[in-house]
C-alpha cells in the first residue's frame, strides 16, 4: 500500500533534476514508462483520525513532488498542521479525465477502507480537495453528481440497457460516466484548471499526443468492443473516436469534445464552497496563463476568485500558495474543532 512519500522540495537551482522529472512525466504520458506502478494515494505522515484531510491532485504529467512548496507551507503553519493532514493522489495521466476521476475515487475508497474500515473517523468529513490543471477538473468531478448528463452525451441507450453481461469489464463503463459526489468533501480549490477545455488540446502538439496516447486503459478497450458490436448504442459523433481508441487525457480536454462539454454544467453542491486561482500573462491571446485561457479557468459561483500575473504552474507560485493558506485558515475559522 502506497502510504508514504518523501516530499523534499527540489532546489530551484537544480535545473537538471527538474528537467529529468519533466522527461519522466512525458514518458509516462506516452506509455513509454510505467505510469500505473506509482499511481495511488500517498500520505505524508501517519494517519490521524482526528485531523481533517487535504487531498492534492496534480496536473497532466505531474506527480506529488509538484506540491512540495504547498505541503511544506501547511506543515510549517502550526494552526493548519494541527487541523489538517495532507494526502496526494498520484495517477497515470494518459487516461481520459473521467477514468482518472474513477481511479482517484478508488484510491480514496481503498485508503479509507484500510485506515478506517468502520467509517467512524472524524477525518472523513470536511475534506479539502486541491487540484491543479487537469487535477482541478478531476477535483471538480469529485464534487458533483453527474446524473445522466455525461452518459447521455456519449450513449444513445439507457444505462440500464448497457450490455454488461456480454462485454468483458463492461460494468466499469457506467461507473465512469455516472457517479455521485465523493462523500465528506467540504471545500475545493482549483488552480489553473481547464474546466471548459484547452485550445492546446487542438494544436499540432495536441493532435500528435492524441495519436500517440491512446488505447491504454481497460475502459477504452471496452468502448472499442462496444462500437464494433453495438454501434447504435454510441452517439454518432463519438463512434470513430471510440473505435480508434484515441481517447485520453488530452483528447478529453478538447473544447469541442461532447462529454467534456456536457460536464461544464456540473458544479459542486451549494454546501461545497469552491475557490478559483488562475494565471494571466501579458501578450497571451486569448487571455490566460499560456496553457489554460481565463475563460476556461474561471467559474461562476466561486466563493473566491484570484487572477494572478503568473504562468500555468501555480502550485509553485508563492502568491498562490499564500492564497491557499488564506482559504484554509478561513476554513478552520468556519468549522469547529473536531
Can you point out the beta strands (E) in the chain? 40-43, 52-57, 84-90, 127-132, 185-191, 274-279, 304-308
Predicted local confidence at residue 10, as pLDDT: 34
User: What value does the mean pLDDT take over residues 266-277?
Assistant: 96
Kind and range of the H or E element at 263? Answer: helix 258-263
pLDDT band at 324 (very low <50, low <70, confident <90, very high): very high
Predicted local confidence at residue 105, as pLDDT: 96
The conformation of residue 33, written as its DSSP 8-state character, comes to: S
Please say if the pLDDT value at position 278 is more than 60.
Answer: yes
User: What value does the mean pLDDT take over residues 156-177?
Assistant: 73
Cα 49 from Cα 111, distance rounded (Å): 13
Mean pLDDT over each residue of the chain, to the nearest integer:
83
pLDDT band at 255 (very low <50, low <70, confident <90, very high): confident
Predicted local confidence at residue 3, as pLDDT: 44
Predicted local confidence at residue 222, as pLDDT: 78
H-helix segments, 143-214:
149-154, 172-177, 204-212
pLDDT band at 174 (very low <50, low <70, confident <90, very high): confident
Evaluate whether the domain defined by 15-145+182-201+260-334 bears CATH number 3.40.50.1820. yes
Count of Cβ atoms closer than 10 Å to residue 271 Cβ: 9
Please say if the pLDDT value at position 214 is more than 60.
Answer: no
Predicted local confidence at residue 167, as pLDDT: 56
Kindly report which listed range (18-27, 110-119, 134-143, 222-231) carries the lowest average pLDDT score: 18-27
Model pLDDT for residues 61-88, shown as the tens digit of each residue: 888 889 999 999 999 999 999 999 999 9
Please say if the pLDDT value at position 24 is more than 60.
Answer: no
Kindly report which listed range (29-43, 62-76, 81-95, 180-194) carries the lowest average pLDDT score: 29-43
- Report helix angle 68-75 to 318-334, nearest 10: 40
User: What value does the mean pLDDT take over residues 255-282?
Assistant: 93
pTM: 0.87
User: What value does the mean pLDDT take over residues 124-152?
Assistant: 96
Predicted local confidence at residue 72, as pLDDT: 95
Please say if the pLDDT value at position 17 is more than 50.
Answer: no
Please say if the pLDDT value at position 30 is more than 80.
Answer: no
Whose CA is closest to 136, among 198, 74, 177, 194? 194
Domain ranges of the chain: 15-145+182-201+260-334
Kindly report which listed range (19-28, 46-55, 117-126, 191-200) carries the lowest average pLDDT score: 19-28
Residue bearing the bigger pLDDT, 174 or 41:
41
Predicted local confidence at residue 142, as pLDDT: 98
Model pLDDT for residues 96-117, shown as the tens digit of each residue: 899 999 999 999 999 999 999 9
Amino acid at each position: 500500500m502506497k502510504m508514504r512519500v518523501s516530499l523534499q522540495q527540489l532546489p530551484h537551482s537544480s535545473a537538471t533534476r527538474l528537467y529529468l522529472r519533466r522527461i519522466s512525466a512525458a514518458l509516462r504520458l506516452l506509455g513509454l514508462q510505467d505510469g500505473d506502478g506509482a499511481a495511488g494515494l500517498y500520505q505524508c505522515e501517519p494517519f490521524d483520525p482526528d485531523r481533517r484531510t487535504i487531498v492534492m491532485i496534480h496536473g497532466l504529467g505531474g506527480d506529488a513532488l509538484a506540491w512540495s512548496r504547498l505541503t511544506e507551507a501547511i506543515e510549517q503553519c502550526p494552526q493548519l498542521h494541527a487541523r489538517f493532514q495532507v494526502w496526494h493522489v498520484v495517477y497515470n495521466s494518459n487516461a481520459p479525465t473521467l477514468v482518472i476521476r474513477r481511479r482517484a475515487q478508488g484510491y480514496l475508497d481503498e485508503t479509507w477502507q484500510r485506515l478506517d474500515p468502520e467509517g467512524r473517523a472524524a477525518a472523513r468529513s470536511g475534506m479539502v480537495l486541491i487540484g491543479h490543471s487537469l487535477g482541478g477538473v478531476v477535483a471538480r468531478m469529485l464534487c458533483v453528481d453527474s446524473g445522466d448528463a455525461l452518459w447521455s452525451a456519449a450513449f444513445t441507450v439507457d444505462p440500464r440497457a448497457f450490455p454488461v453481461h456480454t462485454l468483458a469489464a463492461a460494468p466499469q463503463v457506467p461507473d465512469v460516466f455516472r457517479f455521485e459526489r465523493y462523500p465528506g468533501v467540504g471545500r475545493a480549490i482549483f488552480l489553473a484548471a481547464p474546466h471548459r477545455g484547452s485550445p492546446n488540446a487542438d494544436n499540432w502538439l495536441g493532435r500528435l499526443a492524441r495519436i500517440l496516447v491512446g488505447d491504454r486503459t481497460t475502459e477504452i478497450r471496452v468502448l472499442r468492443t462496444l462500437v464494433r458490436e453495438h454501434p447504435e448504442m454510441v452517439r454518432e459523433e463519438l463512434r470513430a473516436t471510440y473505435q480508434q481508441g484515441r481517447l485520453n487525457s488530452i483528447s478529453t480536454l478538447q473544447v469541442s469534445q461532447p462529454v467534456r462539454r456536457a460536464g461544464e454544467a456540473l458544479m459542486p453542491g451549494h454546501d461545497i464552497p469552491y475557490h478559483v486561482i488562475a494565471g494571466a500573462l501579458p501578450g497571451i491571446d486569448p487571455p490566460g496563463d499560456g496553457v489554460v485561457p481565463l475563460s476556461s479557468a474561471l467559474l461562476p459561483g466561486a466563493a473566491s476568485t484570484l487572477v494572478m500575473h503568473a504562468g500555468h504552474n501555480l502550485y509553485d507560485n508563492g502568491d498562490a500558495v499564500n492564497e491557499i493558506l488564506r482559504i484554509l485558515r478561513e476554513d478552520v475559522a468556519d468549522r469547529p474543532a473536531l
